[in-house]
Structure 1
Amino acid sequence: MRRLSLLALIVAGGASTVHADANPDTNVSADSQIESVTVTARRREEAVQDVPLAVSVLNAETIESTGTINVGRLSQLQPSVQFYSSNPRNSSVNIRGLGTPFGLTNDGIEPGVGIYIDQVYYNRNATATFDFLDVEQVEILRGPQGTLYGKNTTAGAVNITTRKPTFTPEARIELTRGNYDYTQSKASVSGPLIGDKLAGRLSTSYTSREGTIYNVTTGQHINELDNLGVKGQLLWQASNDFKVTFSADYTEQDPIGYGQVWAKTGSTQRPLNRQYADLAAASGNYQPPSFNPFDRLTDLDSPLTAIQQFGGASALAEWKLGSGLLTSVTAYRKWDWGPSNDRDFIGLPITTISANPSKQRQYSQELRYSATGDKIDYVAGVYGFYQTVDTAGVQEQGPLASRWLLSGANANNPSILDGLRSENDIGLKNTSVAAFGQLTWHVTDDLRLQPGLRVNYDKKEGKYIATVTNETNTALTAAQLGVLAPQSYEPEFDDTNVSGDFTVSYDVTDDVLAYVTYARSFKSGGINLSGLPLDANNQPITAVETVEPESTNHYEAGLKTQLFSHAVTLNLSAFWTDITDYQATVTNSQANVIRGYLANADKVRVRGVELELSTRPVDTLLLYANGSYTDHEYVKFPDAPCPPELAGGQAASAANPPSAPGTPNGFSPPSCNISGQWLPGISKVALSYGLEYELPLSALGEDGGVYFAYDGSYRSKFSSNPSRSIYTDVSGYALSNFRAGARFGQGWNVYGWVRNAFAKDYFEFFSTQSGSTGLVVAQLGDPRTYGLTVNKSF
């Protein structure tokens, strides 16, 4: 007996079992072979092992059985994927460490990793936090993809395909119950509506879980799950050559969240009486509810909300025309975000309101033609994208703001900052149009040349208007301006660029594919929409209104192999990526800049090797191991903002050179040279590994059996601050997940599961409190969770 199961589908090429007629060998059972998997990575259907590209594939069974409920969970199965999120808006999805700058989100730049669902590009990284809804397959494409995909995805793409309407009636239902009051239910139904011309599909999902952090101030568990999603599809099969799939979906999340916990403190260069320990003592001898972050306690005193609504509609038309396929993808998406956060991170009334409710609307149209011939295969298309974002931000200071943010006598006067309020009107109009194409020339049966080209135009128009008032509605004082200053600017950016790639691939044997690739790609320039840093006169520094486009030179070589009559799939890739004008989210020592801003690093480099292995040594056992080694650094960034231990002091000068890190009342440099340092968020070593063993049992039916599975992951130490700090490195950690269950009858599957089985305490990342107080807070990884899942297919 054979099952398409765990990391049968996780290797970049060879996912599960092979077709029984694929290269049989009298000494190898067909059931012990690894099955070929069809992907659309190059916008046409083909076997994944034939694609000269680093692409990994996960099927529906792998996604569901491993608890991979969203894009964010992919990082535990795919070592090259990184995901960080302090809340849905402030989420980043990176591939090989590149994609979205690490830190708080800035609407004025593009993500470098494209997320596509049923060929529709989703511009918001918040998509990564939504539950998968009736997903059939996920493809993870590593490296630049701009000559194949509508948006110029410079770091990679996550290509998600959902199940389509069928003319054969079918239904699925799944129920899960676990600790932390975890409940998840999924259901879908599909079938014909009008003969063989119109079919429909309806899918829904609901997930809830008690929060994993307890807020002693409100008596609530925060960081909970409360997700509802529904999707409807209609398939109109007008003829054998023409069909249209209409889709509409709506998802809502309304959890109590999000917050971090007290982790530690470190010395900065502020005067000692303005660092955390003295400030806490002067604030009624304040202490957090626990000095052990893994007690999972907080005392946040500002309201916490995180409601978001995501939805849209699309029409996917496919017309067999001549020797190829003409595809049109028309889509509308909306995303509404209604947050409220505690941006001082502790239970004191310092910043009492921090909210940036946002509304996004996006419209896209793609027209693409792909054809396959004896000698030439090609894809050519045009793409248009328009997006608007409107944000009404509010920040208000409380009665202890003066104590924490001001110095001297002003620190003892609460009325200076109490009630100081900034209301921000932020807007973005983002237009992108492109023409792209890729051609494959079969020089011989074994040798192929594959050039690709893209012409892209981007335009961004923004506004940022901050209106600041005080409690008495009088003219702002210098002390108030140093904390919240009025700003009004309208940044603009537009640019045209030409990018492309060239791949040479060669079939060394029928089961060994070698390829080399060079890609030149660009990531659109951006505009700062989170407020600008101030100069010595508390005036916005307009020179940083915009950031330059990223320019990428990418080199890659790979081998895709299937050995021992397809019983083993082994894929290797090595890559080297140089980026000039790398877009980084950087922090600032000023109290008023709580969200960070954008800057260009002169040059960064990311290079590494990846290995993906799966094997079925016997019919009933599947083993897999994936690994990545990534070397990464700022090659040149001489004027970066300084880390916390070098910030907050008096301005250094020739007469007063910079003090040693962490020197109270020291002299701080205006910037720091972080050339040669790590990029944030990237582990040098990341691994995923596991097995599944299945024992067929005739007593459970023709297709019945019991099974046991293990999935492990490891990542080494990484930095979680844009400028690496001695306080914010995250130690490496390993996680273990187990599953055991039985399949029986007609489509029944019942299994128990435990995630983080050994209750590993680990941090996802650290953040620092604004104002150089030295406080470090943490985003915690999930504790041990366990439960039981029952699903049935009809």
Structure 2
Amino acid sequence: MSGVVSRSVRAALCLSAASAAAISSNAALAQDSAPAPQEQYRLETIIVTATRREEGLQDVPVAVTAVSGDVLAQSNFREVTDLQYLAPNVTFSSTNPVSNGGGYQIRGVGTQTYDSGVEQTVGLVVDGVVIGTSRDPGATGFSDVERVEVLRGPQGTLFGKNSSAGVIQIVTKDPKLQDLSGDLSLSYGEREEQIARGNLNLPIGETAAFRVSGYYQAQDGAIPYLRRDGDIGDRENSGVRAKLLWWATDRLSVLLSGEHQEGFARDAHTIESLGTSALFNSQFASFDVRPGHGVYKSYQDGDWTADTSVDAGSLKLEYQIGDHTLTSISAYREVQTTQLSDIDAAPVNIFNNSDGGVDNSQFTQEVRLTSPTDRRFEYVIGAYYFDTDLSGWASQVGNYYGLFGRPVVLGGGRRDQTGSNQSIAGFGQIGFDFTDTLKLIAGLRYTHDEVEGKMVISPLPYPAVPLGVLLPYDGKVSDENVSGRVGLQYQPNSDLMLYVTYATGYKGPAIDGTGGIAREIEPETVKSYEAGMKSTLLDGRMTLNAALYWSDFEDFQAQTLDLNVSPPAFALSNAGLMRSRGVELESTVRVTPGFDVSAAVTYNDAKFEDYSAACYAGQPVSGVVGQGCYVDPVSGLQVANYEGEELPNAPEWTYLLRGAYTHSIGSEYAFDASVNWSWRSEAQATIADPRARIEDYGILNANLGFGKDNGAWRIGVYARNLLDEHFYAPYASGTLNPGGYYRIMSPDAFRTVGVNVTAKF
């Protein structure tokens, strides 16, 4: 494997060197003889805020991909999870219908846990506000989005503790002064897909403006039940966001925002059983169906549904102090979820469904001072406060679902749980120009965390199932950390930038209650090394960016199937050491005016280097301590050495290719077409178990449109997963499946073709 990495590294270095030489040569020739091309041949400058200040994407010494809101809307992408089809080295994995705010992985690294109280490894930030729980969808519907930025690698210095693998930053559109405008988009597709989005910008005098946006989207399921009528996989989401911008003075701007979202999802598409519960596959026989690849029907008798409600508000103040900018963002978010779970995932109702709910309230406050960018010395300094409270309940006959994790079999009863997480941080980052071409970048962040959790059981008069004991828990964990970044940025000319960085990241401690047993989880830390190149070629018609990275994680918070509890359940634990290393290449070319082609290829090698946990079900016992699956001489439990095993849902190779074409017809009309293809190699669904393997697959999306050249109206046809490529999401484990898994289908695994009409004024 090291040979593959070495060859990839050498290839990338050679490509970088060749590109640098070509850029320098092109720059010299351009100065001597070549005339400047027409502006329409140049790629537009993309502005990002990856360093908490506005900069051109090609000038930022960070591996970042930016996706415009226009691309998202035209492609009819609906969720943040669709970014995995547009941004390199990004994947999404979740079998829980309420966890669309979590499950993201960057460079193969992410938090795969069913515990809503555990922080994410990939930070989700919406309009400068950190989303603190996986149950918060953040920005479902992609309504009125300006752009989405995907920052790869640790971003803890400027974005905080829950970004040790990277950050997904969503920027929605702000009100515009003295501009009366609006747009409406309606889509209808297969399986009764309905999408409506609308935005309205209203000026209020000369110093204020109001903007409101809303969306509604729904689609029926694609997987038929075998045991009853109907399909599963249906979803319905809606939301509204309002913003009021007021320039109180020529130095002070006030931005007040509020939003409400509601969502419903029906998941848990059990297709086939693996392991000890494979006996359920026999249930297919009565329907003349043989389980396995190519069969996309569900035999479960119940539902796994979730209802989510989000209310949020924020106040952003920006004040110009001389040539500096003082920014304050105060935000409050409240998320409520209720869930009904067919936790046995069986074809018969052996255990009644579990019902429960979680309420999460979050308050954040950030203040930062930003210096101007046209100085030799620039800086950003700030302070951050985060406070979240969780409360949850669950009641069930024969089984249980709790706030902190997946179902656990108990006698009937009710469980009440509460939790809190408080964090205080101070941070700063500087940039210093040694020369006109060489720049130093350095930053630090201090964080103090305090996490509390309580679990209480109130038994009800139902017969108990003697499969485990859950004791009340009342505990607290705390920690502090200093993380940072240091690097050099070299820019010999305006078309080439090289950088090297060393960064550390941090993910705070946690209390995990998966499987009904409270576990205190140690903080996760990372040390990351990265070298990158950003270049502009062909007189502005092409960009070529590359990055080499190596990240070492310590006490990585990993999830495994714990067979040493009764009943066995997925649980969070600390892996000793884990590393992620690889190569990323991205390029965009303007072939002709109106025709752009983008491509990306990534190689990622993410593996455990020191990790001992419970053996997977059916794993042969080696009899040798420290090798494979063995009996620990101290605890007497079966333990496996997972050194060298892949991280779940971390494909080695990913490819992305996108082409977008626009052609004017006469002086008033235009035709547009775009194609997007993404492919990923096979990956492990759970740690080590060869039965839980996700095969490689590729997804093709396409769009065609015709309308007014000025965008006043457009009629289009869209297709998501045009080739109808079926694939499995990572597998799940149910109450009656303690030694195996259930194959789960993603809603994206089925083709959707539809029509779209858009009007603007």
Tell me the TM-score normalized by structure 2. 0.88
Mapping 1:325-340, distance limit 5 Å: 325-340=325-340
Change (3 A) 1:287 1:595: farther
- Unpaired segments of 5 or more residues in structure 2? 1-29, 400-407
Following superposition, the deviation at residue 71 of structure 1 comes to 1.1
> Do 1:467 and 1:487's aligned partners in 2 also have CA atoms closer than 8 Å?
no
Q: Which of 297-306 and 79-88 deviates more?
A: 297-306
> Do 1:394 and 1:424's aligned partners in 2 also have CA atoms closer than 8 Å?
yes
Tell me, what secondary structure is at the counterpart of 1:640?
A: strand
Change (3 A) 1:176 1:309: same
Does residue 744 of the first structure (1) align with residue 696 of the second (2)? no
Distance 1:654 1:74 in 2: 44
Change (3 A) 1:321 1:294: farther
The corresponding residue for 2:223 is 213
Following superposition, the deviation at residue 604 of structure 1 comes to 0.2
Distance 1:230 1:590 in 2: 46
The corresponding residue for 1:452 is 443
Does residue 754 of the first structure (1) align with residue 719 of the second (2)? yes
Tell me, what secondary structure is at the counterpart of 1:133?
A: coil
Distance 1:265 1:377 in 2: 57
Following superposition, the deviation at residue 173 of structure 1 comes to 0.7
> Do 1:81 and 1:93's aligned partners in 2 also have CA atoms closer than 8 Å?
yes
Following superposition, the deviation at residue 82 of structure 1 comes to 1.1
Q: Deviations 1:22-41 (Å, cap 9, x if unpaired)?
A: 99953744222211111111
The corresponding residue for 2:8 is none
Does residue 74 of the first structure (1) align with residue 42 of the second (2)? no
> Do 2:410 and 2:468's aligned partners in 1 also have CA atoms closer than 8 Å?
no
Mapping 1:702-713, distance limit 5 Å: 704-713=669-678
Q: Deviations 1:280-308 (Å, cap 9, x if unpaired)?
A: 77x99987966256543223323443111
The corresponding residue for 2:214 is 204
Does residue 612 of the first structure (1) align with residue 586 of the second (2)? yes
Change (3 A) 1:594 1:792: farther
Q: Deviations 1:735-793 (Å, cap 9, x if unpaired)?
A: 11111112315422221111111111211222244444545322334311111111122
Following superposition, the deviation at residue 178 of structure 1 comes to 0.8
Q: Deviations 1:475-521 (Å, cap 9, x if unpaired)?
A: x6xxx33x142321123110111111101100032200000000122
Identity of aligned residues (%): 27
The corresponding residue for 2:167 is 157
The corresponding residue for 2:11 is none
The corresponding residue for 2:232 is 222
Change (3 A) 1:432 1:41: same
Does residue 84 of the first structure (1) align with residue 115 of the second (2)? no
Tell me, what secondary structure is at the counterpart of 2:84?
A: helix
Distance 2:303 2:269 in 1: 14
Distance 1:783 1:74 in 2: 17
Following superposition, the deviation at residue 49 of structure 1 comes to 0.8
The corresponding residue for 2:380 is 379
> Do 1:262 and 1:288's aligned partners in 2 also have CA atoms closer than 8 Å?
no
Change (3 A) 1:123 1:286: farther
Distance 1:284 1:627 in 2: 41
Q: Deviations 1:223-261 (Å, cap 9, x if unpaired)?
A: 112111001111111011101110110000124x12222
Change (3 A) 1:418 1:323: closer
> Do 2:256 and 2:316's aligned partners in 1 also have CA atoms closer than 8 Å?
yes
Tell me the TM-score normalized by structure 1. 0.85
Does residue 170 of the first structure (1) align with residue 181 of the second (2)? yes
Which of 573, 576, 592 lines up with 2:547 in the alignment? 573
Which of 653, 663, 669 lines up with 1:695 in the alignment? 663
Following superposition, the deviation at residue 467 of structure 1 comes to 4.1
Does residue 391 of the first structure (1) align with residue 392 of the second (2)? yes
Which of 635, 645, 648 lines up with 1:677 in the alignment? 645
Distance 1:727 1:495 in 2: 38
Following superposition, the deviation at residue 428 of structure 1 comes to 0.8
> Do 1:558 and 1:573's aligned partners in 2 also have CA atoms closer than 8 Å?
yes
Distance 1:397 1:673 in 2: 35
Mapping 1:496-645, distance limit 5 Å: 496-532=480-516, 545-589=519-563, 592-593=566-567, 595-637=569-611, 639-645=612-618
Tell me, what secondary structure is at the counterpart of 1:645?
A: coil
Q: Deviations 1:439-464 (Å, cap 9, x if unpaired)?
A: 00011111110110000000000012
Distance 1:595 1:238 in 2: 56
Following superposition, the deviation at residue 559 of structure 1 comes to 0.1
> Do 2:649 and 2:684's aligned partners in 1 also have CA atoms closer than 8 Å?
yes
> Do 2:629 and 2:638's aligned partners in 1 also have CA atoms closer than 8 Å?
no
Following superposition, the deviation at residue 109 of structure 1 comes to 2.3
> Do 1:694 and 1:705's aligned partners in 2 also have CA atoms closer than 8 Å?
yes
Distance 2:628 2:157 in 1: 48
Which of 387, 394, 418 lines up with 1:427 in the alignment? 418
Following superposition, the deviation at residue 350 of structure 1 comes to 2.7
Which of 443, 456, 460 lines up with 1:465 in the alignment? 456
Following superposition, the deviation at residue 589 of structure 1 comes to 2.4
Distance 1:288 1:686 in 2: 38
Q: Deviations 1:173-203 (Å, cap 9, x if unpaired)?
A: 101111111111111111212x123211111
**What is the aligned length?**
710
> Do 2:568 and 2:738's aligned partners in 1 also have CA atoms closer than 8 Å?
no
Change (3 A) 1:456 1:593: farther
Q: Deviations 1:630-664 (Å, cap 9, x if unpaired)?
A: 01110011x211112228xxx99899x99999xxx
Distance 1:685 1:652 in 2: 32
Distance 2:48 2:176 in 1: 19
Distance 2:663 2:691 in 1: 49
Which of 711, 729, 732 lines up with 1:764 in the alignment? 729
Distance 1:628 1:211 in 2: 33
Does residue 95 of the first structure (1) align with residue 106 of the second (2)? yes
Distance 1:375 1:559 in 2: 22
The corresponding residue for 1:485 is 469
Tell me, what secondary structure is at the counterpart of 2:114?
A: coil
The corresponding residue for 1:401 is none
Q: Deviations 1:390-430 (Å, cap 9, x if unpaired)?
A: 111234338xxxxxxxxxxxxxxxxxx99932422221110
The corresponding residue for 1:52 is 61
Distance 1:511 1:574 in 2: 20
Change (3 A) 1:433 1:212: same
Does residue 187 of the first structure (1) align with residue 154 of the second (2)? no
Q: Which of 284-293 and 357-366 deviates more?
A: 284-293
Change (3 A) 1:572 1:368: same
The letter of the residue matching 1:645 is G
Distance 2:658 2:78 in 1: 19
Following superposition, the deviation at residue 348 of structure 1 comes to 1.5
Following superposition, the deviation at residue 466 of structure 1 comes to 3.4
Following superposition, the deviation at residue 593 of structure 1 comes to 4.5
> Do 2:96 and 2:114's aligned partners in 1 also have CA atoms closer than 8 Å?
no
> Do 2:218 and 2:237's aligned partners in 1 also have CA atoms closer than 8 Å?
yes
- Unpaired segments of 5 or more residues in structure 1? 1-21, 269-274, 399-416, 534-543, 662-667
Distance 1:705 1:746 in 2: 9
> Do 1:370 and 1:380's aligned partners in 2 also have CA atoms closer than 8 Å?
yes
Which of 736, 739, 743 lines up with 1:777 in the alignment? 743
The letter of the residue matching 1:672 is A
Following superposition, the deviation at residue 160 of structure 1 comes to 1.1
Change (3 A) 1:767 1:305: closer
Q: Deviations 1:370-401 (Å, cap 9, x if unpaired)?
A: 01252111100000010011111234338xxx
The letter of the residue matching 1:227 is N
Does residue 147 of the first structure (1) align with residue 157 of the second (2)? yes
Distance 1:128 1:213 in 2: 27
The corresponding residue for 1:8 is none
